Amino acid sequence: MTTTATSTITGEQFKHQALIALGQHGMFTLDQLCRLIPNTPPMGSLRRTMRRLESQKMVASITRDSTRRKTWFLTAAGVDAMKPVLPEPMRMSPLIATGPTSAHLDGTNEVGLAAIKAVGADQVSWNHEEALPLGSSKWIRPDAVLTATVVDGPTLRGGQWFVEFDRGTEAIGVLADKVANYLTYRSYRPNTMAKNNNTDLHWKQRFREWPTIMFVFEGHRAERRIEDLAAWIETDPRLTGRLSKLPIIATPHTHIAHAFTDPRGFVTLPHLDPRPWINP
């Protein structure tokens, strides 16, 4: 989806990459597409490209806020056109793009864009609401599974995160339930006969290392909700003595743009150390 060239990409290359991005992540403003796709042409050229795609019924746009910036998403025809490239493009509509879930999706995408700002577009990817089994026909679906891979000379380093974007609409107990579900997933084996074989753990087949759980909190009470979640999980009997298996970090949404590059960008839970939003 990205290019390694340092020169400006062509309008046709941008069109192709923009369609893939919208299929993968649902919706973006033009500004967000420029942050996702390296070396884009001038903004005027990008607007013309998107208008042509709109006239071809491949994309549609809505205005979501007072800035009057357009948010773009694939139409049904655009989804069908992208199926050879993306087996399951994210389906959107004006109703979804303006509905209550749109801000949640936008916030989740901003976490991925913040990671790109830190390490570069070629090294970052994320997918939405991947179903991870818990057993008994139950699943946990992270808002995103975020992956960053950095090649540092002969060394390959990076990380993976289960992203949970919180807009303050769920009780803290519900967030704690998610942490408990991640603990359940960590011990889930598809083959129930292999009780003593750690290689049969589902997460070991899916991930190189156990991902860190990342909570990103939006709203004026973000800091308080982080503290409330930390206090809850520290005393939750389901998690007592087991939190060492579940690295958990958190940050306010207002800090996410710099969180991946600031050593104090995230706090660890439940200990809340450090607290970057208090006298940094």
pLDDT, one tens digit for every residue, the chain (280 residues): 444 446 899 999 999 999 999 999 999 999 999 999 999 999 999 999 999 999 999 999 998 776 678 999 999 999 999 999 998 899 999 888 888 899 999 999 999 999 998 888 888 999 999 999 999 999 999 999 999 987 666 655 678 999 999 999 999 999 999 999 999 999 999 876 655 566 689 999 999 899 999 999 999 999 999 999 999 999 999 999 999 999 999 999 999 888 888 877 899 999 887 765 554 4
Specify the pLDDT at position 66.
67
pTM: predicted TM-score of the whole model, two decimal places: 0.90
**Which residue in 229, 226, 187, 194 sits closest to 210, CA to CA?**
187
**Which residue in 129, 142, 132 sits closest to 201, CA to CA?**
132
Check if the beta carbon of residue 190 is closer than 8 Å to that of residue 248.
no
**Which residue in 29, 36, 26, 15 sits closest to 71, CA to CA?**
29
Residue/partner pairs of 6-15 with CB below 8 Å, 24 or more apart: 6/39, 7/39, 8/39, 8/40, 8/41, 9/37, 9/38, 9/39, 9/40, 9/41, 10/41, 11/41, 11/45, 11/46, 11/48, 11/49, 14/40, 14/41, 14/45, 14/46, 14/49, 15/49, 15/52, 15/53
Specify the pLDDT at position 3.
43
**Which residue in 124, 129, 160 sits closest to 144, CA to CA?**
129
Specify the pLDDT at position 233.
96
Specify the pLDDT at position 247.
93
3-state secondary structure the chain: CCCCCCCCCCHHHHHHHHHHHHHHHCCEEHHHHHHHCCCCCCHHHHHHHHHHHHHCCCEEEEECCCCCCEEEEECHHHHHHHCCCCCCCCCCCHHHHHCHHHHHHHHHHHHHHHHHHHHCHHHEEEEECCCEEEECCEEECCCEEEEEEEEECCEEEEEEEEEEEECCCCCHHHHHHHHHHHHHHHCCCCCCCCCCCHHHCHHHHHCCCCCEEEEEECCCCHHHHHHHHHHHHHHCCCCCCCHHHCCEEEEEHHHHHHHCCCCCCCEEECCCECCCCCCC
Token pair of 262, please?
């600031």
Check if the beta carbon of residue 9 is closer than 8 Å to that of residue 40.
yes
Specify the pLDDT at position 6.
66
Cβ count within 10 A of residue 176: 19
Specify the pLDDT at position 2.
45
- Residue whose structure tokens are 């597409």: 33
Specify the pLDDT at position 213.
97
Q: Which residues have C-beta within 8 Å of that of residue 196, sequence separation ≥ 6?
A: none
Check if the beta carbon of residue 46 is closer than 8 Å to that of residue 31.
no
Specify the pLDDT at position 153.
61
